[in-house]
Amino acid sequence: MTQNTKTITLDIEGMTCSGCSSHIEKDMRKIKGILNSSVNHETGKGEFTFDENQLNKTTLVTAINAIGNYKVKNDVKKEDCGTTSSNQENSKDSHIENNHFDLIIIGGGSAAFSAAIKAESLGLSTLMVNAGLDFGGTCVNVGCVPSKNLIRAAETAYHASHSNFKSIKPKGADIDFSQLINDKKKLVATLQQKKYMDVVSDFKNLTMLKGWAEFLDHKTIIVNGKYTYTAIKFVIATGATTNIPNIEGLNDVGYLTNVSLFDLEEKPKSLTIMGAGYIGLEIAQAYNRLGVKVRIIEFTDRPLRSQTKDITDVLETQLKKEGIEILPNFRAFKFEKKDGDTIIHCNCPDGSTTKIIEKGRVVVATGTKPNTSKLGLENIDVNLTKSGHISVNEKMETNISTVYAAGDVANTPAFVYTAATEGNIAITNAFTGENKTTDYTSLPWVVFTDPQIAGAGMDELEAEKAGISFEVSKLELKDVPRAIAANDTRGFIKLIRNTETDKLIGARVIAPEGGELIQQLSMAIKYEISIKELAESFYPYLTLSEGIKLAAITFGKDVSKLSCCAS
């Protein structure tokens, strides 16, 4: 019998976290006749595609109501491949008449929009198909923008009760947590509209479609199991999501991720954060400064294990000083609920086990995984890495000539600015033959803790592994006039030079607002500036950037014995 597919969107009450949405999705997929289910706890909506020959709307609603404490509201919205053309919303129950395009982009984040912008400049007919997060993707909706907004707000609260000067005694801050989160939501909505939707609003050749895309072959996709579209070239830019570890009971305790945490308008009593990577650390410090008691469980020996120990020692000292509990070498193996509390069973460093009681919420920040499932990649034999990322070369090409990938879904650095570059490169190479390539040798990055951690190029361990003859200069901030004047000497500036060429090959900074230094160092690496040139350049006195000059001088002199401004 031929399938008679239909897609409906339902408003679902009772969801509080990503575990809820996953629970509904998993149970609904077990029902005969359900072709696809996609549920978002943040919007409270679930999109279900089903075969009307096997079940109807009433049966579907009844099935959802039977799962846990969830309930479908009365209103049902039809959204069979709702389209946006020239960015005018069209919620009609219809599909796009034209089903062939020059380019199909799967995804709706930074890489996808960058690809669409480049495609428009080339006059290419383009279809963008997006599911999951709203158009704009992770950065603006649930990542960079909301996190940095909350981090800066938390910093303001912290300085309202902490001073670097004995003569100034701050009296604390009155925090309206609900207002803070609502202001954050407004900011996200504004930037999502201005920096994404408005940018493409007058595009003549772009059609935007909400739906789940799967490859049927290397020239064809099917959306929501219903409508097929073909293209000359494809760009997969579906991003990544939190990697939820397979731990007994975790899915039953109502855990949060950054996606759901950032929308909680009621301040949690406390948080246990699973994972001490950059996401977990930024969340920990921000929420702790906003008055939430925070604990971090990390299965390795220290936070931010990707960086050298001298860096993480400085950060760990600050986090502990602020009252954050860090449990290194602890590995959770079971979660359970008891009397409203979450009981976390852990293996301890000494081989024993312990029970940790969390009266607030559990946040999972154990890294990310690429969004490659349910894309039908097995139908086109695209090569994946061991981590599940789509394997691309420096031209963003996959092993399939018609398919490119860009952004967090690919085996490239996972930053919004690299994703944007990759989206542009993918389209350029797919349609112009220009053969543009990526070069991440001098890539700058920042972790927005306080002090901030920033880097570009190699650190000393990477230089040693590469067999490069190198030398390290490390300047403590206690020797930087700006830091001395500010009574804040936490951290250091570290430069790595090639001893054979005197060229800068890497830099690491941990300092208050240290991220503001890293672009200069990145440019120095990219354009092969020598340490001698860095040391002899002019820097404004009493700026943090003067520390770069002093760090360069440190290769040959003890700067603690130099006069101010001397070189």
Q: Are 425 and 406 in contact (CB under 8 A)?
A: yes
CA distances from 422 to 113, 193, 415 (A): 11, 22, 11
Q: To 5 degrees, how large is the angle CA 413–CA 416–CA 418?
A: 50
CA distances from 326 to 268, 274, 280, 365, 479 (A): 19, 10, 11, 14, 30
> What are the pLDDT tens digits along the chain (567 aa)?
567 788 888 989 888 777 788 788 888 888 878 888 888 887 888 888 888 777 778 778 878 887 877 888 864 333 344 444 544 333 333 457 789 999 999 999 999 999 999 999 999 999 999 999 999 999 999 999 999 999 999 999 999 999 999 999 999 999 999 999 999 999 999 999 999 999 999 999 999 999 999 999 999 999 999 999 999 999 999 999 999 999 999 999 999 999 999 999 999 999 999 999 999 999 999 999 999 999 999 999 999 999 999 999 999 999 999 999 999 999 999 999 999 999 999 999 999 999 999 999 999 999 999 999 999 999 999 999 999 999 999 999 999 999 999 999 999 999 999 999 999 999 999 999 899 999 999 999 999 999 999 999 999 999 999 999 999 999 999 999 999 999 999 999 999 999 999 999 999 999 999 999 999 999 999 999 999 999 999 999 999 999 999 999 999 998 888 877 666
Please give the Cα distance from 308 to 316 (Å, whole number). 12
What is the reported pTM? Answer: 0.84
Q: Are 108 and 136 in contact (CB under 8 A)?
A: yes
Please give the Cα distance from 103 to 112 (Å, whole number). 11
Please give the Cα distance from 143 to 365 (Å, whole number). 12
The per-residue b/e assignment along 331-361, b for 16 or more CB within 10 angstroms, e otherwise, is bbeebeeeeeebbbbbeeeeeeeeebebebb
103 Cα distance to chain centroid: 26
